[in-house]
Structure 1
Amino acid sequence: MDSNTIPSAEGNGPNCLRAQALAALAATEWPEKLAAVRAIEDDAALDCQRSFEPIAGLPGRPERPHLVAPAEVKHRSMATLEGRAALLHALAHIEFNAVNLALDIIWRFAGMPEAFYRDWLRVAREEAYHFDLLRQRLAALGVAYGDFPAHNGLWDMAERTRGDLLARLALVPRTLEARGLDASPMIRNKLAGAGDKDSAAIVDIILRDEIGHVAIGNYWYKQQCTLAGKEPVACYAELARRYDAPRLRGPFNLEARRAAGFDDAELAALQAG
């Protein structure tokens, strides 16, 4: 059942970690959202069984950037400051969406072990850190988050999988976010090649942390497959078809993917297409 349709439980206060995650998800301005994520304590009270009424307008996001179809996002030359700023802006938007995705999985899916929710809180914090690093770098280049248009592909998949935890785990961290593991070395090298070592260093930090985030997705995906009696590779292929996931194309960062918990059978299936 989609948790959007389940009424809130009685007698649970707003300090519950999952309630705080929902409130942070609803925050519209980025300073408010980042502050709300930072305010959630490691040892915050946690009701794993509680179901919530969603807040209207999820996810909260600022009026800018203007959202367009992916094909409408222009590619600019790395030889220009504007081109590098546009790339960093696109990365910042991905990280902003990733904050929302981590917060969403915390409140939306009840009945998981405590460690599940605390794992995704860690992800939300690190994604917020990445967003802020990129935002500060953009500011140093004379650009603000919202100055370029952006697309909403990450959140679109979250909407499609809002009633299916196994699909969410398969198709967001293990598919869309794992694509970042493949793309990061090329992006980093482009920035470094253009002489932008400060921006390249931020991409290095993001890749390091994203390996851990994809590993969390892999762990819980495989845990849910085991509970459901499903073989992970075949289950992934079925979910990718059902939810029309994008077909992944190489080159693949096999070293990073192995570090993130993809096994040989999964990597072989990935390379086979």
Structure 2
Amino acid sequence: QMPKRGKFGSERARIALWHSLAHIEFVAIDLALDMAGRFGEAMGAEFVSDFLDVAADEAMHFALLARKLEQLGSRYGALPAHAGLWEAAHATRHDVTARLAVVPMVLEARGLDVTPAMLERVQTAGDTGGVKILARILDDEIRHVGFGTKHFLRCAEMAQARPESLWQTLVKQHFGGAIKPPFNDSARLAAGLSREFYTVIAH
């Protein structure tokens, strides 16, 4: 059973929050390496370099979050964690365009949407160390979504497809969840992900 994050004021809720973030970053390391290894030969050196950079960033994020958990008297693995990220990766294991559409451009983009509110909660609680961690993650994730969008656009060009329409089709086929507002439009746009992609299928 997944732990409830609850209100951020309790120690249990704080540990649950940081643990869930650590799990996301831990899985993201493997997802970036899988992206480079699984599709790198077909996609080329720049693709491999970009996703190795992503893996290095995710490893740094995980280290920061693991240290944060230790400061709270816990550790990564102390709580159960979901397998949703790996399920999305498995569903797109044969198609690099679908993988790019779902992992960087849906799942990581969702992180851009939810992190500012999380930052505000952590700041209100007076956790300056936590604020620094989340700000670092948010900045890096904009770049990560940007890598995904860049290579997706290249795939769309090779397929002679309109990028927005192709993305919407692949998301409907391979992503079981909802594309839910509110959106951090400015961060998404900084990553090359304009509203023309996602507002049409948002609900």
TM-score of the pair, normalised by structure 1? 0.71
Secondary structure at 1:111's aligned position in 2?
helix
Is there any run of 5+ residues in structure 2 with no aligned partner, and where?
A: none
1:85 to 2:18 alignment: no
Is there any run of 5+ residues in structure 1 with no aligned partner, and where?
A: 1-67
Secondary structure at 1:147's aligned position in 2?
coil
Structure 2 counterpart of 1:121, which letter? L
Structure 2 counterpart of 1:112, which letter? M
The alpha-carbon deviation at position 209 of structure 1 amounts to 0.3
Give the number of equivalent residue pairs.
202
Select 1:231's aligned residue among 134, 154, 162: 162
Select 1:152's aligned residue among 83, 93, 96: 83
How far does the alpha carbon of each residue in 1:162-188 deviate from its partner, in whole angstroms, 9 at most, with x for none?
A: 001100000000001110000000111
Select 1:99's aligned residue among 25, 29, 46: 29
The alpha-carbon deviation at position 129 of structure 1 amounts to 0.3
Select 2:55's aligned residue among 124, 134, 140: 124
* Conservation of the 8 A alpha-carbon contact between 1:254 and 1:267: no
* Identical pairs, percent: 41
* Conservation of the 8 A alpha-carbon contact between 2:29 and 2:59: yes
Select 1:162's aligned residue among 93, 99, 104: 93
Number of the residue aligned with 1:252? 183
CA RMSD between the two structures: 1.4
Higher helix share: 2
Aligned structure 1 segments of 4 or more residues deviating by more than 4 angstroms: none
* Conservation of the 8 A alpha-carbon contact between 1:84 and 1:191: no
TM-score of the pair, normalised by structure 2? 0.95
Select 2:147's aligned residue among 190, 204, 216: 216
The alpha-carbon deviation at position 268 of structure 1 amounts to 4.1
The alpha-carbon deviation at position 244 of structure 1 amounts to 3.5
How far does the alpha carbon of each residue in 1:61-108 deviate from its partner, in whole angstroms, 9 at most, with x for none?
A: xxxxxxx5xxx3423221112211110010000000110100001111
Aligned counterparts, 1:9-158, within 5 A = 72-109=2-39, 110-158=41-89
The alpha-carbon deviation at position 264 of structure 1 amounts to 4.4
Structure 1 counterpart of 2:16, which letter? A
